Homo-oligomer: A and B are copies of this chain.
Amino acid sequence: MTTIKDIARLSGYSVGTVSRVLNNHPDVSPKAREVISRIIEEENFQPNSNAKLLKQTTASAVTVFVKGTSNVFFENLLEKIQETFKENGEEISVVFLDETANEVETAIQICMERKPKGIVFLGGNLKYFEESFAKITAPCVLVTVSAASLPFANLSSFTTDDIKGASDAVDYLIRKGHRQIGIVGGSLNTEDGLVSGERISGAEAVLKKNHLAFSYEKDYEPSRFSMASGYEATRRLLEKNDEITGIFALSDMVAVGALRAIQDKGLRVPEDISVIGYDGIEYTRYAVPRIATIRQDIDMLAKRTVEDLLMRISYRRSTVHEVIPYRVITGESIAVRKP
């Protein structure tokens, strides 16, 4: 394995000078730079980043933690965030975590090793933030979960109002004449994160406001945020309640499963049952029928996240907790209820 010592020997310069060339340090003669660069090129030398990071105190690239590896919404968002950082001349480093992993502990570890100049969390569990975020000093942004209630001076957050979004989704079904509305997805267990709790409570609130009956036993089925799980949950829901004419799926992936489950039961969407999803992933535009959904504004979420983080990295700004607007997307999966 070639190391910096080999390059030093080969070039006739010292290890220190080679290191300076490697790090684009200004105090190097053009000649030395040229000779050393050539040798590095010839040897195809890559400095060992373990050694580098062990010594280096300067900050490294912004790190993005993505919670959940097959979350299409986060994927879309990540792509946009990456693009926006790039427009600002910043490369980022991405870490994918399991749905159940502790993102804050992982970040603490990475901070020690890599000293990122900033961190973005795509999704997160507030419990972990409460427990140990205090150990992180770099500027951070939490996306899709609000950190407004937390006392940290280095943690901004950008979210969609899930309560309001969910109530708009259900309200849409109600305005189309639906009275028997089922909810599919997420879980009633508050340990599983805020998102599903907020969407369910937003939905419930608007049902109550319209004096429509709703019970967890008859009108709700939990599921993970996947097609397969949404499919099974919808089957169970239709099994136990055949009066439902409108379904609110807590995520678009769940809605995809719901569409198939409904049709496998010999019913049609939207003629027999209307469906609305949540998130606004690309797929909703290609599904047949196109799926009505609450589209989170991915562009804006990405733009504000990057802006805020870069400003706070460069200047001492205080954190913000912003709610990004969403849009109700009509789609083709909702019809007026048949009389």
Contact = CB atoms under 8 A, between A and B. Distances in A.
Interface string A206-247: 000000000000000000000110010000000000000000
A42 B237 CA distance: 48
Contacts of A283: 227, 256, 283
A285 B230 CA distance: 13
Given A50-B113, A263-B288, 9 more contacts: A46-B109, A48-B112, A227-B282, A227-B283, A228-B282, A256-B283, A260-B286, A260-B287, A283-B283
Secondary structure of the A contact surface, majority rule: helix
A185 interface: no
Contacts of A287: 260, 287-288
8 contacts: A50-B51, A70-B79, A228-B282, A231-B286, A259-B286, A283-B283, A287-B287, A288-B288
Interface string A256-290: 11011001000000000000000000110111100
A263 B287 CA distance: 11
Interface residues of A, number: 33
A75 B70 contact: yes
Interface string A276-314: 000000110111100000000000000000000000000
Contacts of A227: 282-283, 286
Interface in A133-158: none
Interface in A9-27: none
Interface in A42-87: 46, 48-51, 53-54, 69-70, 75, 78-79
A89 B109 CA distance: 24
Nearest to A231: B286
A128 interface: no
Contacts of A69: 75, 78-79
A285 to B, nearest CB: 8
A324 interface: no
A112 B46 contact: yes
Nearest to A256: B286
Contact of A53 (B50, B75, B108, B112): B50
Nearest to A227: B286
B46 A54 contact: no
Given A54-B54, A70-B79, A96-B96, A113 B49 contact: yes
Contacts of A1: 112
A257 B231 contact: no
A44 B135 CA distance: 11
Centre residue among A96, A108, A286 by max chain B CB count within 10 A: A286
Contacts of A92: none
List the 7 closest A-B pairs by CB distance, nearest first: A50-B54, A260-B286, A50-B50, A50-B53, A227-B286, A50-B113, A288-B288
A58 B51 CA distance: 17
A94 interface: yes
Contacts of A112: 1, 46, 48
B113 A48 contact: yes
Residue of A51, A54, A288 most packed against chain B (CB within 10 A): A288
Contacts of A259: 286, 288
A54 B47 CA distance: 12
